[in-house]
Chains A and B, each alone.
Chain A
Amino acid sequence: MEKILEVKDLEVSFQTYGGSVKAVRGVSFDLHKGETLAIVGESGSGKSVTSQTIMKLIPMPPGKITGGQILFNGDDIVPKTEKQMEKIRGKEISMIFQDPMTSLNPTMKIGTQIMEGLIKHQNMSKQAAKTRAVELLNLVGIPMPERRVNQYPHEFSGGMRQRAMIAIALAANPKLLIADEPTTALDVTIQAQILDLMKDLQSKMDTSIIFITHDLGVVANVADRVAVMYAGQIVEMGTVDEIFYDPRHPYTWGLLASMPSLDNDNKADLAAIPGTPPDLTNPPKGDAFAARNQYALAIDFEEEPPMYQISETHFAKTWLLHPDAPKVEPPEAVKKRMRQLSSTFDQAVLMKEGK
């Protein structure tokens, strides 16, 4: 399959009063055409910064890409100028944000907000753009689109606004759609509708999607592959099956154990991960997760673990995969669903040191 996006060793930091916040610390992943990659992780783990960096949407300054490459269709976008980025944003890569209440301009008609992208990228006339905007609203399932185009965001419900956001994002047929927690602010039934809509549109338009969420339940529904982020790094990445049925990283275990599911919907059982993420101004020595990790080894407090490969598609960054490490048992909730997957290597393979 054709690779559409390749992120290599991406590093992003923010210059603040308290020092420089290393929000993304060496992130690498790739994405194929038509594929959906989910990025999960706690609040503050750097999901939004990573994804916004792909469109160079982070505020610079204070933000700065301090290292790495972002190859979009083989073309590195890190050195691109704002002018060049304008041709990519909205046309090649689009984004949907978390909160539909605030991500639409309150004083501009919905129709106009959809038309802007069309006029810019497809050189459409106002009239044509308006016709297309009505079509798009229809496509994302908004009833009476002819009337709705002339309304303002406050006349839309939350779910409808998110549909409108999707219409805006898809207006110019982008090749990559980044959805940053698109359903978090919506209630459960609307969430499901929006997810269905996205899947449906993806199959029609063959876009690739990066789907950010902290809800693992959603991931199983929409994603092909999953990357788990912690403290600005990807700590485990694999196919949905690998992450759900054969997770290797204690942080993934923690996330899975804290996920409500059909057989485990009693909230009291959910084991939240204790403690809080580290301060990214001075990331701790060793593994960033060590202090919160009940399986932490002595070495975790001294040295950062390398990335190990568990199968063609499955990677994890933990010392537990070192041959000398003790065999530990994942938490009960995770163990219950562990399965032997056929693609797994006999032994975890060290990828490269220290990274």
Chain B
Amino acid sequence: MQISKDKFQLVGTKISEAEKISKPSLSFWKDVFIRFRKNKLAMFGLVLLAILIFMAIFGPYMTEYDYATNDLTNKNQEPSSEHWFGTDDLGRDVFARTWEGARISIFIGVAAALIDLFIGVLWGGISGYKGGRTDEMMMRFADVLYGVPYLLLVILLMVVLGQGLGTMILAMTITGWINMARIVRGQVLSLKSQEYVLAAKTLGANTSRIMAKHLIPNSMAPILVTMTLTIPNAIFTEAFLSFIGLGLTPPLASWGTMANDGLPAIRYYPWRLFFPAIFISLTIFAFNVVGDGLRDALDPRLRK
């Protein structure tokens, strides 16, 4: 073995280079994105969701029929080139109603998620940030509320408040925010102790500024997952309530009311039930797998 002598001169450490090699740094979100993309089921869900949202926006314009116009001469028509998904017992076009229903279901889901987010971030943020007795009391309150069976409470509220879109969303969010508040509080507590918040504090930034600038962006990941998983839950609850006769009032078409109307006729006109039923399931499925995919992609324990 021949190695030239000059190779044997002392050169010493190159720590900075070692660091460079040992940490191929991807930004956090890029990393998340790559992992998410590898998850076939989640990607499928995302595509499905995109299609469903697209149809919710444009679907009602694709047919000349209006979702609320009765046509008693064309009752209970089978799906055909004229009425793609058939018609219901009042001769209304099921295709138009289905996408109108998609709008309402998705609206309810998103609205519920946003309200949960708003209350949850406020409640959890204040609770975690203030700490001490305030925290103790706020969280006790949330615990008590959380112990009440969810659907039973929602049903009671709907009975008391009367049916309607607004009361439905209200009823859903009355306990829905608790999860979000707990997550936000947990994040705030863990982030509160970290240095950059302390630094901001000593620099004289006030509480709301610190929350807005540092805490909330850092809690994005779990909040996002919770929101994506709240939406299908709200869509389910809407359908459930409609199905037991506590849903929206006509002529509004939601998937739940459509399914409810279609049930008595299942033997002879099954499409009236099946179209809304299939789309409820698909939408819930899409949100669920996207939410799961996000959670897995964001889980730092899997991060290597």
Contacts and interface: CB of A to CB of B under 8 A. Distances in A.
Direct contact of A and B (CB under 8 A): yes
Interface of A: 16-18, 274-279, 282, 284, 290-303, 319, 322, 324-326, 328, 350, 353
A207 to B, nearest CB: 36
B301 interface: no
A201 to B, nearest CB: 37
Contact of A296 (B5, B13, B19, B302): B13
Given A17-B304, A279-B24, A282-B21, A298 B8 contact: yes
A120 B15 CA distance: 51
27 contacts: A17-B302, A17-B304, A275-B15, A276-B22, A277-B22, A278-B22, A279-B22, A279-B23, A282-B21, A291-B14, A293-B13, A295-B12, A296-B11, A296-B12, A296-B13, A297-B7, A297-B11, A298-B8, A298-B9, A298-B11, A299-B3, A299-B8, A301-B11, A326-B8, A326-B9, A326-B10, A350-B1
A298 B12 contact: no
B5 A324 contact: yes
Given A274-B13, A275-B15, A290-B14, A319 B24 contact: no
Contacts of A274: 13, 15
Nearest to A285: B21
B192 interface: no
Contacts of A284: 18, 21
A299 B4 CA distance: 9
A303 B21 CA distance: 17
Contacts of B18: 275-276, 278, 284, 291-292
B108 to A, nearest CB: 37
A343 B247 CA distance: 91
Interface in B284-304: 302, 304
A322 B21 CA distance: 27
A296 B9 CA distance: 8
A300 B14 CA distance: 11
Nearest to A14: B304
Given A18-B304, A296-B11, A324 B23 contact: no
B15 A291 contact: yes
Contacts of A303: 3
A353 B18 CA distance: 25
A291 B17 contact: yes
Contacts of B7: 297-299, 302
A279 B21 contact: yes
A16 B3 contact: no
Nearest to B18: A291
B284 to A, nearest CB: 29
Given A274-B15, A292-B15, A16 B8 contact: no
B13 A292 contact: yes
Interface in B10-44: 10-15, 17-19, 21-24, 35
Interface string B201-213: 0000000000000
B6 interface: yes
A16 B304 contact: yes
Nearest to B24: A279
Contacts of B9: 297-298, 326
Contacts of B302: 17
A320 to B, nearest CB: 9
B8 A296 contact: no
Contacts of B1: 350, 353
Nearest to A298: B7
A291 B24 contact: no
B19 to A, nearest CB: 7
Given A293-B13, A353-B1, 15 more contacts: A274-B15, A275-B15, A275-B19, A278-B22, A279-B23, A284-B21, A292-B13, A294-B12, A294-B13, A296-B13, A297-B10, A298-B11, A322-B8, A324-B3, A350-B1
A312 B261 CA distance: 90
A291 B14 CA distance: 5
A17 to B, nearest CB: 6
A295 B12 CA distance: 5
A191 B264 CA distance: 74
A292 B11 CA distance: 11
A275 B21 CA distance: 12
Contacts of B8: 297-299, 319, 322, 324-326
Nearest to B38: A17
Contacts of A275: 13, 15, 18-19
Contacts of B3: 299, 303, 322, 324
A322 B15 CA distance: 24
Contacts of B10: 295-297, 326, 328
Contacts of A324: 3, 5, 8
A276 B15 CA distance: 8
A63 to B, nearest CB: 14
B16 to A, nearest CB: 9
A310 B10 CA distance: 22
A17 B35 contact: yes
B208 to A, nearest CB: 39
B86 to A, nearest CB: 48
A271 B118 CA distance: 52
A353 B2 CA distance: 12
Contacts of A299: 3, 7-8
Contacts of A278: 18, 21-22
Sorted from nearest, which 4 A-B pairs have the closest CB atoms? A291-B18, A299-B7, A279-B22, A275-B15
B78 to A, nearest CB: 50
A216 B6 CA distance: 35
Nearest to B26: A18
Contacts of B35: 17
A300 B6 CA distance: 12
A10 to B, nearest CB: 23
Contacts of A295: 10, 12
